[in-house]
Amino acid sequence: MKNKPILKLNRLAMIIPAVLVLLSLSSCQQEEPYSNRTPSGSTLVNLSVSASNSDVTLVSDDPASAIKSLCILQFNANGNDFGTLRHVGIGTENVAGGGKYSATLLQSVDTNDKYKFVVLANFPNGYGVFQGMTGKSYAAVQQACLSEEITGNLGFDTNNCFPMFGIPKGGTPEVIDETLDLGSVSLVRAVARVDIGIGKKDANTNTWSKNGVKFNMTQIQIWKSGKQYAYMPLEGSFSSAGGALTITAPSPVGAVATKAYDNTYITSDTYCAEKIYLPEVDLQWGSVYDTKHTSRLAIIVGVNITVRRKRHFTGWI
């Protein structure tokens, strides 16, 4: 009997709809270190957060799409590249559930004083990691934005939503003044959710029916799953041209492990939905049984098969 793959993992980088970020600012001409207090000479920045399509609400309780907190990292521009961190504007929700936030940024001194921005949403445990990081490079900030090592199986809920990352204005360096409008910002999730099912999927309910398939799903294993993940990708590993953020290379972190999901994660012996979350890894695309076969991430599905109601086979797909 030959096993045939029934599933395919298309992408680990998942993009959610655009988020509208509108800024209004006023002047600050002194370098100010980041602190939990509003820097003197800075001004309030208004952000309006909304989804571009009606079926996803970024301020809902869905942990895959909700925004519970956000901040803007303001970097000095070094030509078209990221320079050092100048300031961090922490978002404060103005009206509960309204998707409107306020924060502070520092305004350009002149037309040569340009900045690049990073938007982080749902950063865990507050934003204290940025305390004292003024003057640090993008690479140093990125390395400070790593998750703790994952124990057990990674999960998210309404109080622990997906961390997200975005680049306003397609990454173009900008002069910050009272006329600046950052426009739409597409966010990518720091981890991917993987749903696995047997038979036919109902996309509206995210459920599966076997549709005549004789398999019973018994277990799922993820081989070479990352034990950590980055809240920001490595510089140079993404493109934001035209306002569409695309991850062009992985930013894997730390070691890997095998994760197992038993029948308590599986519904009706048929599917596992909204329960498997994977940190970004290098998939090392190639062919089956090539030289990298044993070093790349793999999803293994355990099944029990009934043949003519008498014979039973247990195996892996």
pLDDT of residue 158: 82
Count of structural domains, the chain: 2
% residues pLDDT > 90 (the chain): 39
**pTM to 2 decimals?**
0.79
Q: Please tell me whether residues 25 and 162 are part of one structural domain.
A: yes
Residue 185 and residue 215 in one domain = no
Query: 172 and 37 share a domain?
Result: yes
Q: Do residues 35 and 129 both lie within one domain?
A: yes
More confidently predicted of 254 and 34: 254
Based on the domain organization, do 167 and 88 belong to the same domain? yes
Cβ(27)–Cβ(83) under 8 Å?
A: no
Residue 196's SS3 state is strand
245 CB-near residues (< 8 Å, 6+ apart): 15, 165, 166, 167, 186, 187, 188, 238, 239
Is residue 24 pLDDT above 60, yes or no? Answer: no
pLDDT at 203 over 80: yes
170 with 292, same domain: the answer is no
Tokens of 312: 């039973």
Please report, rounded to a whole number, the percentage of residues in the chain having pLDDT higher than 70: 74
**Which among 162, 189, 216 is the end of a domain?**
189
The answer on 256 and 226 residing in a single domain is yes
Asked, for residue 12, whether it belongs to a domain, the answer is no
pLDDT band with cut points at 50, 70 and 90 for residue 316: low
Same domain? For 125 and 140 the reply is: yes
Q: Is residue 235 predicted with pLDDT exceeding 60?
A: yes
Residue 24 in domain: yes
Do 102 and 114 share a structural domain? yes
The reported pLDDT for the residue numbered 282 is 81
Q: Is residue 298 part of a domain?
A: yes
Same domain, 70 and 204: no
Query: How many residues does the structure list for the chain?
Result: 317
pLDDT of 92 higher than 60 = yes
- 243 pLDDT band, cuts 50/70/90, is low
Residue 104 shares a structural domain with residue 121: yes
Domain boundary among 138, 167, 189: 189
| pLDDT confidence band for 205 (50 / 70 / 90) | very high
106-110, 136-140, 235-239: which is most confident: 136-140
* 173 pLDDT tier (thresholds 50, 70, 90): very high
What is the DSSP pairing of strand 114-121 with strand 70-78?
Answer: antiparallel
The residue segments making up the domain with residue 168 are 19-189
Is the separation of the CB atoms in 217 and 198 below 8 Å? yes
Q: State whether 96 and 164 are in the same domain.
A: yes
Residue 21 has pLDDT above 90, yes or no: no
- 226 in any annotated domain: yes
Q: pLDDT digit string (tens) for 34-80?
A: 454 555 455 555 555 533 333 344 445 677 778 888 899 999 999 99
CA 229/CA 246 separation, integer angstroms: 17
Question: What are the pLDDT digits (tens) for 115-164?
Answer: 999 999 898 888 889 988 999 999 999 999 999 999 999 998 888 888 98
- Read off φ and ψ for residue 154, nearest 5 degrees: -65, 140
